[in-house]
């Protein structure tokens, strides 16, 4: 038995603003990512390898805010964050504020498996990426027309936005959670952050317990939303704690955090979650979240709107 869920970000995603061609393109990206992770799991691979495979596809797909599709920061460059965690050992790896690394999720995995650290940042993380042979791309690789237009609208002011919206509340992140045949959970998250964010800003995605968490005793979580509020709420770990200490089900814990606690402080977004029984939860309090999953029976699901 295995299960897998992925997301491509949450936000104010309105049907009225979505053309059939655009919707088909987003769904294609989700399908490629789900297929990549599912292939690993069907071959008996680990949940860690599955979530990384799914996120690589999302990072390589220019419509999602990670890797190639990463947004521009205030000075017109791309700073990317990523994290992975496996539930069996609680091992984790994270990279923050990196530029040029083609697949930041591979850097996060490398930090976890090939260093004595959990989190590395900026030039130090980039140097480590080179030392383990990861692929780099020029700045031009990360330049996409629609991201550039987003930045031009904001670059002369202090306003910043997240993604997937015409409003000020836009969330752009990608992630995956998986349960493999051995009953082990894993989570992975990758992001380009917020359009016009201040140079050096870090959100919740690479912070273990905030945007990414996995523990075989409870659940695996990957978040997407307004990172500052997800950081303050320690969202991913809060869900795990509600299950561990209060005995809540995965659904109860997710609903409590996403639909109640976050809403009370204005935290908009969502997350994908799995428990060791293969239960899948995909809650969000925004109007939409790009999401997909395959359950233990092999049934696939794709969704964008509420």
Annotated catalytic sites, by residue?
173
Distance CA 132, CA 153 (A): 38
| CA neighbor of 55 nearest in space, from 91, 89, 84, 24 | 84
- What are the helix (H) ranges across 61-139? 104-114, 122-131
DSSP string for residues in 188-208: EEEE---BTPPTT---STTSB
Identify the bridge partners of residue 7 per DSSP, sorted by sequence position.
Answer: 175, 291
Strand ranges of the sheet holding 119-121, from the earlier edge strand across to the other edge: 119-121, 92-98, 80-86, 185-191, 174-179, 3-11, 288-294, 300-305
Tokens of 177: 């959670």
- In this structure, the strands spanning 219-225 and 185-191 are unpaired
The whole-angstrom distance between residue 82's C-alpha and the CA centroid of its chain comes to 8
């Amino acid at each position: 038995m295995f299960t897998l869920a992925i997301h491509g970000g949450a936000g104010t995603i309105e049907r009225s603003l979505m053309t059939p061609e655009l919707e088909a393109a987003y769904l294609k990206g989700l399908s490629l990512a789900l297929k990549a992770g599912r292939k690993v799991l069907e071959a008996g691979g680990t949940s860690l390898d599955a979530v990384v495979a799914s996120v690589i596809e999302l990072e390589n797909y220019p419509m999602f805010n990670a890797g190639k599709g990463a947004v521009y920061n205030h000075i017109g460059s791309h700073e990317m964050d990523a994290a992975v965690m496996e539930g069996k050992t609680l091992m984790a790896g994270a990279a923050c504020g990196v530029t040029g690394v083609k697949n930041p999720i591979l850097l996060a995995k490398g930090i976890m498996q090939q260093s004595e650290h959990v989190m590395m940042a900026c030039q130090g993380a980039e140097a480590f990426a080179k030392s383990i042979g990861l692929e780099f791309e020029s700045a031009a690789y990360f330049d996409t027309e629609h991201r550039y237009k987003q930045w031009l609208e904001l670059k002369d002011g202090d306003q910043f936005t997240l993604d997937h919206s015409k409003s000020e509340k836009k969330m752009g992140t990608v992630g995956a959670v998986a349960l493999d045949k051995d009953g082990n959970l894993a989570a992975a998250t990758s992001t380009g952050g917020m359009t016009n964010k201040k140079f050096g800003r870090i959100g919740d995605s690479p912070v273990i317990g905030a945007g990414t968490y996995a523990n075989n005793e409870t659940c695996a979580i990957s978040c997407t939303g307004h990172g500052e509020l997800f950081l303050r709420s320690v969202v991913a770990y809060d869900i795990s704690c509600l299950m561990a200490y209060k005995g809540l089900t995965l659904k109860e814990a997710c609903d409590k955090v996403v639909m109640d606690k976050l809403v009370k402080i204005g935290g908009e977004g969502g997350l994908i979650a799995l428990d060791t029984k293969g239960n899948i939860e995909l809650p969000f309090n925004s109007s939409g979240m790009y999401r997909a999953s395959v359950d233990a029976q092999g049934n696939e699901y794709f969704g964008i709107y509420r």
